[in-house]
Chain A
């Protein structure tokens, strides 16, 4: 309850604005460090994208480097290496959609079917853990387990079977990175599906069971339709991020497997810019990815919103 003094004369807009500004001055002060961060390190850096239209000359710096118009972009569009990186990115993204996307869903269904809370919590604690490890550790662990002198080949050798050549083999790169992402985030991804499964009304299962539906029919006619909206939502969101397939993961292994197998758009930007020093060219590739990526994410969000509404009313 705040009592205002009666206003004698109508206030001008400017006056009101000044009053609100004055009233919120402490909050605005609290905002400052965070706002400064976003202005400098996001919008300031965003401005740096002008380098995509310049030829970067280290001696004169970003602002005085000469303009070259769209030269960097036209060079990029006729560069086979760039298109190969795009191809690898999309290929890995599709593999992830097919093999990684369903993994958390399957695991969530398994976890949800456990009647013992204690067991379920234990398994959850274990499978969430790899999400918090760095990619450096995950890649090192895979190297140790699947490498030429690793655990897997040790077992295969002891059993008198052929050993497998995975680590360092370019042909094995794409399945390997999908396996890595399943190991790291397959458990973590169950959180959202488990939350959806927990919210399915228990009475639906009960009446289906009373009508004589067995476990499979309940799964098919109750569980799946109930969680379909969230599955479709996540799928669309993932499609929006199709140009991002895990920069750190790829960069760590790109040298060992070679650009033919392992170059994605992000690592292309890294090697062109930070390794070879073609900053303008690399920034053009990065900007291309940023613009297309933002458009895709925006479209995906719109689409998800529309389908989300339908999902509620159907």
Chain B
């Protein structure tokens, strides 16, 4: 499928002109710089001392006396610490629930000629074309009595159709003979799923699981409309205090003289919200092109 596997230039290709090489090099450096630069500034500012931040007008490229004061302050109990735990809880519980429901439905829809599978699949795909809309979704959550319950930020987004289609496509690619062999051994559908299908699908399970985890971690809109302020996850707190410009009314911040500059705190919150994504990114990177592409081609 991939025509160019060797690192070398093919024999028919002429040597690139120096000017072309320079132009390409400049373009690459600019692209990389634009992507990486904001992260450098944010991390540097979060580590900088108050004096430096103030002297520099709010940002620092390289902290001369790095300090972890901002991080100590936000982890010292208070809004950000609480929000961090909420985010972790929503991400863990949400991902587990989503994976369970997605795997079960994808598996049942992947088996050939299952009774009722066709209408169910159509029902699922139609939601892709016609989402219910923000207001009806809100009223439904309200009628179900889920306002200010963590279920309100998990249940309405329990299954992502794209993830479901990717997983179903992968399950369908498992050779039919394996199913037949397992059935001849007397295994039930449930056992086939556990013993045959899941061990063969580690790659797609990893991709879909990470996609779910990233989306739960990044979510803030549902939290902003369904949850009270003291139940907010980190992204919604970040939104209010960094984009909205509100002050962090931390109890820890009251100790006079030992308070980090507001910019430093904001940037530290930004770093804390980003780091989990950076941590799982290498794993995503390892699997996603494969998983995403098989799914994209299928649909």
Partners in one complex: yes
State the A residues within 8 Å of B (CB).
Answer: 1, 17, 20-21, 23-24, 26-28, 30-31, 33-35, 37-49, 51, 56, 61-62, 107, 110, 113-119, 123, 125-130, 132-137, 139-145, 147, 149-151, 154, 183, 187, 191-192, 195, 198-202, 205-206, 209-210, 214-215, 247-248, 251-253, 255-256, 266, 269-270, 273-274, 279, 282-283, 286-287, 289-290, 294, 297-298
Are A132 and B1 CB-contacts (below 8 A) given A30-B190, A34-B101, A126-B36? Answer: no
Question: Smallest Cβ distance from A251 to chain B, in angstroms?
Answer: 7
Q: When A and B form their complex, what is the total count of cross-chain residue pairs whose Cβ atoms lie within 8 Å?
A: 269
Stretch in B69-77, B236-244, B250-258 touching the partner: B236-244
Question: Smallest Cβ distance from A263 to chain B, in angstroms?
Answer: 15
Q: Which of B115-162 contact A (CB under 8 A)?
A: 115-117, 120, 123-124, 127, 129-140, 143, 155-156, 158-159
Any A CB within 8 A of the CB of B27: yes
In the assembled complex, the Cα of A126 lies from the Cα of B130 at a distance in Å of 34
Task: Find the A residue at minimum CB distance from B9.
Answer: A115
Chain B's interface: helix, strand, loop or mixed, by majority? helix
Q: A126-B32, A298-B129 are in contact. List 7 more A-B contacts (CB 8 A).
A: A30-B105, A31-B108, A117-B7, A195-B293, A205-B13, A274-B135, A297-B129
Cβ contacts B7-42/A at 8 Å (1 or 0 each):
111101110100010001001100110111111011
Question: Smallest Cβ distance from A48 to chain B, in angstroms?
Answer: 3
Q: Which residues of B contact A17 (CB under 8 A)?
A: 115
In the assembled complex, the Cα of A186 lies from the Cα of B285 at a distance in Å of 16
* Interface contact B243-A140, CB-CB below 8 Å: yes
* Interface contact B235-A123, CB-CB below 8 Å: no
Q: Which residues of A contact B178 (CB under 8 A)?
A: none
Looking at the complex, which one of A20, A136, A191, A215 makes contact with B293 (CB distance below 8 Å)? A191
Task: Find the A residue at minimum CB distance from B20.
Answer: A215
Q: Which residues of A contact B4 (CB under 8 A)?
A: 198, 202
Q: Which residues of B contact A1 (CB under 8 A)?
A: 180
Looking at the complex, which one of A39, A118, A127, A248 makes contact with B35 (CB distance below 8 Å)? A127
Looking at the complex, which one of A23, A130, A136, A145 makes contact with B235 (CB distance below 8 Å)? A136
State the B residues within 8 Å of A (CB).
Answer: 1-5, 7-10, 12-14, 16, 20, 24, 27-28, 31-32, 34-39, 41-42, 45, 56-59, 61, 100-102, 104-105, 107-109, 111, 114-117, 120, 123-124, 127, 129-140, 143, 155-156, 158-159, 164, 180, 188-190, 193, 214, 217-221, 225, 235-236, 238-239, 242-244, 266-267, 270, 273-274, 277-278, 281, 284-285, 289, 292-293, 296
Question: Smallest Cβ distance from A290 to chain B, in angstroms?
Answer: 5
Looking at the complex, which one of A45, A125, A149 makes contact with B137 (CB distance below 8 Å)? A45
* Interface contact B1-A283, CB-CB below 8 Å: no
Question: Smallest Cβ distance from B280 to chain A, in angstroms?
Answer: 8
Are A34 and B102 CB-contacts (below 8 A) given A123-B28, A144-B38, A150-B58? Answer: yes
What are 12 A-B pairs at a CB distance below 8 A?
A: A34-B159, A39-B123, A41-B158, A42-B127, A48-B140, A49-B132, A129-B35, A136-B218, A198-B1, A273-B135, A273-B138, A274-B135
Chain A's interface: helix, strand, loop or mixed, by majority? helix
Q: Which residues of A contact B219 (CB under 8 A)?
A: 134
Q: Which of B34, B108, B274 has the most CB of A within 10 A?
A: B108
Q: Which of A41, A115, A118, A247 has the most CB of B within 10 A?
A: A41
Question: Smallest Cβ distance from B201 to chain A, in angstroms?
Answer: 15
Task: Find the B residue at minimum CB distance from A24.
Answer: B115
Q: Which residues of A contact B2 (CB under 8 A)?
A: 198
Looking at the complex, which one of B100, B102, B140, B289 makes contact with A41 (CB distance below 8 Å)? B140
Are A183 and B293 CB-contacts (below 8 A) given A28-B115, A273-B135? Answer: no
Q: Which residues of A contact B188 (CB under 8 A)?
A: 26
Question: Smallest Cβ distance from B229 to chain A, in angstroms?
Answer: 16
* Interface contact A33-B115, CB-CB below 8 Å: no
Question: Smallest Cβ distance from B132 to chain A, in angstroms?
Answer: 4
* Interface contact A132-B281, CB-CB below 8 Å: yes
Are A31 and B105 CB-contacts (below 8 A) given A45-B137, A286-B135? Answer: yes
In the assembled complex, the Cα of A51 lies from the Cα of B136 at a distance in Å of 8
* Interface contact A137-B270, CB-CB below 8 Å: yes
In the assembled complex, the Cα of A150 lies from the Cα of B278 at a distance in Å of 24
* Interface contact B41-A151, CB-CB below 8 Å: yes
In the assembled complex, the Cα of A113 lies from the Cα of B104 at a distance in Å of 43
In the assembled complex, the Cα of A139 lies from the Cα of B14 at a distance in Å of 44
* Interface contact A192-B159, CB-CB below 8 Å: no
* Interface contact A136-B243, CB-CB below 8 Å: yes
* Interface contact A136-B136, CB-CB below 8 Å: no
* Interface contact B114-A24, CB-CB below 8 Å: yes
Q: Which residues of A contact B214 (CB under 8 A)?
A: 132
Are A154 and B56 CB-contacts (below 8 A) given A35-B120, A134-B218? Answer: yes
Looking at the complex, which one of B27, B139, B159, B236 makes contact with A48 (CB distance below 8 Å)? B139
